[in-house]
Amino acid sequence: MGSNDVFWNEIQLIEEATRLLEESEYIDKRDYSKLISAYRTLLNQTKKLTKMSDRHQNKLSDLLERISRYVPAPLYKKITQGKEKVEINHTKRVKLTIFFSDIMDFSSHSANMEGEALSAILNSYLEEMTNIVNKHGGTLDKYIGDAIMVFFGDPDYIDDFEHARRCLNMALEMRQRMKELQKHWFDLGYPDPLHIRMGISTGFVSAGNFGSSEHMDYTVIGTAVNLASRLQEYAAADQILIAHETWGFVKDHVICKEPQFIKELKGFSKGVYAYEVVGLKDKLIPQTLVYEDKARDVVIRFSPDVIAPSELNKIIEELLSQRKALSSEEQEDEYEL
Amino acid sequence: MSLNITILGTKHTPHIEFDADHQRLSIVGDSYPENAGDTYFPVVEKLDVYFNDPGQFLRVELTIPFANTSSSKVLTDLFTKFQGLCDQGHKIELTWFYPYGDYDCRENGELLLEDVEFPYKMVELSE
Distance CA A294, CA A300 (A): 11
Q: Across residues A120-125, what is the average pLDDT?
A: 90
Nearest residue in chain B measured CA to CA from A58: B104
Mark yes or no for CB contact B107/A55 under 8 Å: yes
Q: Across residues A142-161, what is the average pLDDT?
A: 91
A242 by Cβ neighbours in 10 Å (0-12 / 13-18 / 19+) ranks as buried
pLDDT at B2: 84
The answer for residues whose C-beta is within 8 angstroms of residue A329's C-beta and 6 or more apart is none
Contact A299, A312 (CB under 8 A): no
Contact B112, B86 (CB under 8 A): no
Contacts of B33 in chain A (CB under 8 A): none
Contact A4, B33 (CB under 8 A): no
Q: Left if phi > 0, otherwise alpha if psi is -120 to 50, otherwise beta: which for A273?
A: beta
Amino acid identity of residue A251, one-letter, is: K
Mark yes or no for CB contact A48/B74 under 8 Å: no
Give chain A's length: 337
DSSP A75: H
Least confident of A17-31, A146-160, A297-311: A297-311
A52 closest CB neighbour out of B78, B80, B108: B108
- Alpha-carbon separation of residue A337 from A302, A312, A324, A327, A329 (angstroms): 38, 37, 20, 15, 12
Query: Would you call A58 an interface residue with chain B, using a CB distance cutoff of 8 Å?
Result: no
Mark yes or no for CB contact B77/A53 under 8 Å: no
- Alpha-carbon separation of residue A106 from A80, A114, A186, A209 (angstroms): 36, 14, 16, 30
Distance CA A125, CA A103 (A): 10
A41 closest CB neighbour out of B48, B80, B114: B80
Is the per-residue pLDDT at A273 higher than 50?
yes
User: CA angle, corner A92, sides to A91 and A98, nearest 5?
Assistant: 100
pLDDT at A143: 92
* Count of beta carbons in the 10 Å neighbourhood of residue A98: 30
Is the per-residue pLDDT at A20 higher than 90?
no
The pLDDT mean for chain A works out to 85
* Count of beta carbons in the 10 Å neighbourhood of residue B11: 8
Note whether ipTM > 0.90 here: no
Distance CA A207, CA A155 (A): 9
Residue scoring higher pLDDT (A251 or A76) = A251
Contacts of B76 in chain A (CB under 8 A): 45, 48-49
pLDDT at B23: 97
Residue scoring higher pLDDT (A110 or A159) = A159
Mark yes or no for CB contact B37/A8 under 8 Å: yes
Give chain B's length: 127
pLDDT digits (tens, 9 = 90+) for A184-201: 888 888 888 889 999 999
pLDDT at B97: 97
Contacts of A41 in chain B (CB under 8 A): 80
- Quote the pTM value: 0.63
pLDDT at A271: 92
Residue A289 — pLDDT band, cuts 50, 70, 90? low
Mark yes or no for CB contact B74/A6 under 8 Å: yes
Which residues on chain B place their C-beta less than 8 Å from a C-beta of chain A?
35-38, 40-41, 44, 48, 68-70, 72-74, 76-78, 80-81, 104, 107-108, 111-112, 114-115
Mark yes or no for CB contact B72/A49 under 8 Å: yes
pLDDT at A330: 61
pLDDT at B74: 94
pLDDT digits (tens, 9 = 90+) for A162-179: 999 999 999 999 999 999
- Smallest CA-to-CA distance from B105 within B28, B17, B16, B34 is with B28
Bridge partners, residue A180, by sequence: none
Contacts of B112 in chain A (CB under 8 A): 48, 52
Distance CA A263, CA A261 (A): 6
Least confident of A189-198, A250-259, A282-291: A282-291
How far B72 CA sits from the closest chain A CA (Å)? 7
pLDDT digits (tens, 9 = 90+) for A78-87: 777 776 666 6
Mark yes or no for CB contact B77/A55 under 8 Å: no
Residues of chain B below pLDDT 50 = none
Q: What are the DSSP calls for B43-104, one per residue?
A: HHHHHHHHTTSTT-EEEEEEE-S-B-HHHHHHHHHHHHHHHHHHHTT-EEEEEEEE-TT-HH
**Secondary structure (3-state) at A234:** helix
Distance CA A246, CA A248 (A): 5
Is the per-residue pLDDT at A58 higher than 90?
no
Amino acid identity of residue B22, one-letter, is: H
pLDDT at A304: 65
Query: Would you call A2 an interface residue with chain B, using a CB distance cutoff of 8 Å?
Result: no
- HSE at residue B92, side-chain half, CA atoms within 13 A, is 27
Contacts of A1 in chain B (CB under 8 A): 41, 44, 48, 77-78, 81
What is the gyration radius of the CA atoms in chain A, in angstroms?
Answer: 34
Distance CA B44, CA B36 (A): 12
Distance CA A234, CA B122 (A): 63
How far A18 CA sits from the closest chain B CA (Å)? 22
Contact A219, A141 (CB under 8 A): yes
pLDDT at A336: 43
**Secondary structure (3-state) at A300:** strand
- Smallest CA-to-CA distance from A250 within A312, A187, A172 is with A172
pLDDT at A337: 39
DSSP B114: T
Query: Would you call A51 an interface residue with chain B, using a CB distance cutoff of 8 Å?
Result: yes
3-state helix/strand/coil string of A138-168:
CEEEEEECCEEEEEECCCCCCCHHHHHHHHH
Nearest residue in chain A measured CA to CA from B75: A6
pLDDT at B75: 95
Q: Where are the domains of chain B?
A: 54-102
pLDDT at A140: 93
